[in-house]
Amino acid sequence: MTAQPVLKAIDIPQLKTVCSSCSLRELCLPMGLSENEIEQLDQLVYTRRRVRRGENIYRAGDPFASLYAIRSGFFKSNVILEDGRDQVTGFHMPGEIMGLDGISADRHACNATALEDSEVCVIPFARLEETSHQVRSLQRQFHKVMSREIVRDQGVMMLLGSMRAEERLAAFLLNLSQRFVARGYSPAEFHLRMTREEIGSYLGLKLETVSRIFSKFQEEGLVSVQQKHIRILHVDGLRALLGRGQ
Amino acid sequence: MTAQPVLKAIDIPQLKTVCSSCSLRELCLPMGLSENEIEQLDQLVYTRRRVRRGENIYRAGDPFASLYAIRSGFFKSNVILEDGRDQVTGFHMPGEIMGLDGISADRHACNATALEDSEVCVIPFARLEETSHQVRSLQRQFHKVMSREIVRDQGVMMLLGSMRAEERLAAFLLNLSQRFVARGYSPAEFHLRMTREEIGSYLGLKLETVSRIFSKFQEEGLVSVQQKHIRILHVDGLRALLGRGQ
DNA sequence: CGTTGCGTTGAATAAGGTCAAATAGAGTGG
DNA sequence: CCACTCTATTTGACCTTATTCAACGCAACG
Each residue of A12-25: pLDDT tens digit? 444 566 899 999 99
CATH value at residue A202: 1.10.10.10
Residue A129 in contact with partner chain B when CB distance is under 8 A: yes
Q: A103 and A44 share a domain?
A: yes
In angstroms, rounded to a whole number, what is the distance separating the alpha carbons of residues A222 and A208?
Answer: 19
Q: B143 and B229 share a domain?
A: no
Residues of chain A below pLDDT 50: 1-14, 246
Q: A144 and A169 share a domain?
A: no
Q: A29 and A132 share a domain?
A: yes
Q: B133 and B227 share a domain?
A: no
Residues of chain B below pLDDT 50: 1-14, 246
- Our count of domains for chain B comes to 2
Out of A104, A151, A157, closest to residue B156 by CB: A157
Between the two ends of chain B, the Cα-to-Cα distance in Å is 51
The whole domain housing A100 covers 4-159
Please indicate, yes or no, if residue A246 is contained in any of the structural domains.
no
Q: Are A16 and A44 in contact (CB under 8 A)?
A: no
Which nucleotide is closest, CA of A209 to its C1'?
A: D18
For B87, which DSSP code? E
Closest residue, chain A, to B168 (C-alpha): A161
DSSP assignment string, B92-151: E-TT-EE-GGGTTTTB-SSEEEESSSEEEEEEEHHHHHHHHHH-HHHHHHHHHHHHHHHH
List, edge to edge, every strand of the sheet that includes B97-98.
B47-51, B118-124, B66-72, B97-98
Q: B148 and B181 share a domain?
A: no
The per-residue pLDDT for A15 is 56
Q: A103 and A195 share a domain?
A: no
* Statement: the CB of A36 is under 7 Å from strand C: no
CA Rg value for chain A: 19
* Statement: the CB of B111 is under 7 Å from strand C: no
Helix (H, G, I), strand (E, B) or coil at A243: coil
Closest residue, chain B, to A243 (C-alpha): B83
Alpha helices in A79-186 (DSSP H): 125-134, 136-162, 165-182
Per-residue pLDDT reduced to its tens digit, B130-155: 999 989 999 999 999 999 999 999 99
Q: A91 and A177 share a domain?
A: no
The per-residue pLDDT for A203 is 98
Q: A83 and A198 share a domain?
A: no
Q: What's the predicted TM-score (pTM) here?
A: 0.93
The per-residue pLDDT for A84 is 83
CA angle B75, B81, B87 (to 5 degrees): 35
Please indicate, yes or no, if residue B90 is contained in any of the structural domains.
yes
Q: A117 and A191 share a domain?
A: no
